[in-house]
């Protein structure tokens, strides 16, 4: 695998009016990979992304894109990247084609070259038919496709996407994922933010889990999950008063790494399910704990998130929304 460094972030800190959005962030993005910034709203993902695309100046620390500093050589960086902002960054009165033509001029493409690329991109994102209708007539999914076409127009070395599928229906979402896989297959480096765990899991080669402006974990989804150590067996008991008894019985048994009570049963982290499951069932039987449901799964990204931040991704999203 090509391990050339595409993006280097070192000790990046950004504060807004005394509030620290990101604090001492350091990471690399390799050429040709899909790199994800995963975290709840307000975690600092967008601040990081916006620094990389030259929209924000770091308070301290540096970021460089393909060897060019995002502050001192902002103009060079802008030539090399494409950006897909969150939805609505669209002029409702312009047609899809006019969006692309405008950007073509802003990237200083010669007219013939622009026309050729625009035709290719409209075909790629399946917007040929509505290309000459004002964007206000587009659905959410179509706007997103137009956004992506806009991001690809400069033929960028690195594509940045901010929450690429936020608020989209399932079908459009899968379509966007297809495009991203295809771009990756063509060798494009992609950096994206997301607060969807499944999206990060499906698309990213490596990801950084960011919470409260700090990187909590960094690695490939598989590495992060393995890093947690052990698969998880979840039990739901019929009689919840028996939970403490069973916890006591299982704690310390050879195959169990960690036993934790939950509101409806137990979560047990195990080394190998082959050894652990019979032992669990045997104990449950002996103590007359009738099981309502038993679930076994490999750690999911949500478990990784909980392990590193102490709360679940969905909880923190709710925190933001209600608080």
Partner 1 sequence: MAQYWQEIHALTMRWVRRLSREKFSMLFTLVQPMLFWLIFFGNLFQRAANVQVTQAPDYISFLTAGVVVMTVLNNGLAGGVDLLFDKENGFLERLMTTPIHRSSVILSRFIFVMTITSLQVLVILGVAFLFGVQPATGLLGIATILMIGMLFGVGLTAISMAMAFSVKSHGDFFSVLGFLSLPMIFLSSALVPLAGMPAWMGFLARFNPMTWAIDAVRPLILSGWTDALPHVGMVVVVMVIFDALCLYGSAKVFRRAMG
CB count in 10 Å sphere of residue 91 = 12
Residue 317 CA: distances (Å) to CA of 85, 145, 155: 20, 26, 34
Residue 207 is a binding residue for partner 1 (CB under 8 A): no
Q: Residues 144, 148, 151, 152: what is their CA dihedral angle, to the nearest 10 degrees?
A: -160
Question: By rule CB under 8 A, what string of x and - marks binding of each residue 85-114 to partner 1?
Answer: xx-xxxx-xx---x--xxx-xxxx------
Residue 55 is a binding residue for partner 1 (CB under 8 A): yes
Distance linking the first and last C-alpha atoms of the chain:
44
Q: Which of 1, 18, 19, 75 binds partner 1 (CB under 8 A)?
A: 75
CB contact at 8 A, 99 and 143:
no
Residue 227 CA: distances (Å) to CA of 196, 197, 238, 307: 20, 17, 32, 10
Of 34, 47, 42, nearest to 6 by C-alpha is: 34
Min dist CB 102 to partner 1, Å, is 5
Alpha helices of 125-169 — where are they, by DSSP H? 140-152
Residue 53 is a binding residue for partner 1 (CB under 8 A): yes
Determine the Cα angle at 69 with ends 65 and 73, to 5°: 110
Residue 79 is a binding residue for partner 1 (CB under 8 A): yes
With CB under 8 A, what is the number of residues at the site for partner 1?
30
Min dist CB 110 to partner 1, Å, is 10
CB count in 10 Å sphere of residue 297 = 11
Residue 81 is a binding residue for partner 1 (CB under 8 A): yes
Min dist CB 188 to partner 1, Å, is 17
Min dist CB 160 to partner 1, Å, is 8
Q: Which of 134, 140, 219, 273 binds partner 1 (CB under 8 A)?
A: 134
Q: Please tell me the distance from the alpha carbon of residue 178 to that of residue 223, in angstroms, as a whole number.
A: 24
Q: Which of 48, 51, 54, 194 binds partner 1 (CB under 8 A)?
A: 54
* Contact window for partner 1 (CB under 8 A) among 17-25, 51-59, 167-175, 207-215: 51-59
95: which DSSP letter?
A: B
Residue 66 is a binding residue for partner 1 (CB under 8 A): no
Q: How far is CA 12 from the centre of its chain?
A: 19
Q: Which is nearer to partner 1, 80 or 279 (CB)?
A: 80
Radius of gyration (Cα) for the chain, nearest Å?
A: 24
Q: Is 273 exposed, middle or buried (0-12, 13-18, 19+ CB in 10 A)?
A: middle
Min dist CB 258 to partner 1, Å, is 45
Q: Residues 30, 162, 127, 150: what is their CA dihedral angle, to the nearest 10 degrees?
A: -70
Q: Which is nearer to partner 1, 44 or 104 (CB)?
A: 104
Min dist CB 158 to partner 1, Å, is 12
Question: By rule CB under 8 A, what string of x and - marks binding of each residue 21-50 to partner 1?
Answer: -----------------------------x
Min dist CB 323 to partner 1, Å, is 21
Min dist CB 56 to partner 1, Å, is 8
Q: Which of 58, 154, 213, 299 binds partner 1 (CB under 8 A)?
A: 154
Residue 57 is a binding residue for partner 1 (CB under 8 A): yes
Please report, as ranges, the residues that interact with partner 1 according to CB under 8 A: 50, 53-55, 57, 74-75, 78-79, 81, 83, 85-86, 88-91, 93-94, 98, 101-103, 105-108, 134, 150, 154
């Amino acid at each position: 695998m090509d391990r050339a460094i595409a993006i280097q972030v070192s000790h990046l800190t950004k504060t807004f009016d005394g509030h620290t959005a990101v604090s001492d962030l350091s990471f690399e993005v390799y050429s040709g990979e899909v790199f994800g910034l995963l975290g709840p709203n307000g975690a600092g993902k967008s601040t990081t992304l916006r620094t990389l695309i030259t929209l924000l100046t770091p308070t301290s620390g540096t970021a460089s894109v393909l060897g060019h500093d995002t502050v001192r050589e902002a103009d060079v960086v802008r030539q090399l990247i494409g950006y897909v902002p969150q939805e609505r960054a669209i002029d409702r009165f312009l047609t899809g084609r006019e969006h692309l033509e405008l950007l073509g001029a802003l990237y200083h493409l010669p007219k013939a070259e622009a026309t050729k690329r625009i035709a290719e991109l409209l075909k790629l994102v399946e917007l040929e038919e509505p290309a000459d209708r004002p964007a206000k007539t587009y659905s959410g999914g179509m706007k997103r496709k137009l956004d992506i076409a806009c991001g690809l127009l400069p033929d960028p070395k690195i594509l940045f996407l901010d929450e690429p599928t936020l608020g989209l229906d399932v079908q459009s979402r899968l379509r966007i994922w297809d495009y991203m896989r295809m771009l990756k297959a063509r060798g494009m480096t992609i950096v994206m933010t997301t607060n969807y765990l499944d999206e990060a899991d499906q698309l990213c080669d490596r990801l950084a889990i960011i919470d409260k402006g700090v990187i909590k974990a960094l690695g490939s989804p598989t590495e992060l999950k393995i890093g947690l150590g052990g698969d998880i067996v979840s039990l739901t008991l019929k009689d919840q008063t028996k939970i403490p008894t069973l916890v006591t019985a299982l704690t310390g048994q050879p195959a169990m790494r960690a036993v934790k009570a939950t509101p409806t049963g137990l979560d047990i982290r195990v080394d190998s399910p082959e050894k652990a499951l019979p032992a669990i069932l045997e104990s449950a039987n002996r103590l007359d704990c009738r099981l309502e449901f038993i679930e076994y799964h490999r750690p999911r990204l949500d478990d990784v998130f909980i392990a590193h931040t102490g709360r679940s991704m969905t909880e923190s999203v709710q925190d933001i929304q209600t608080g």
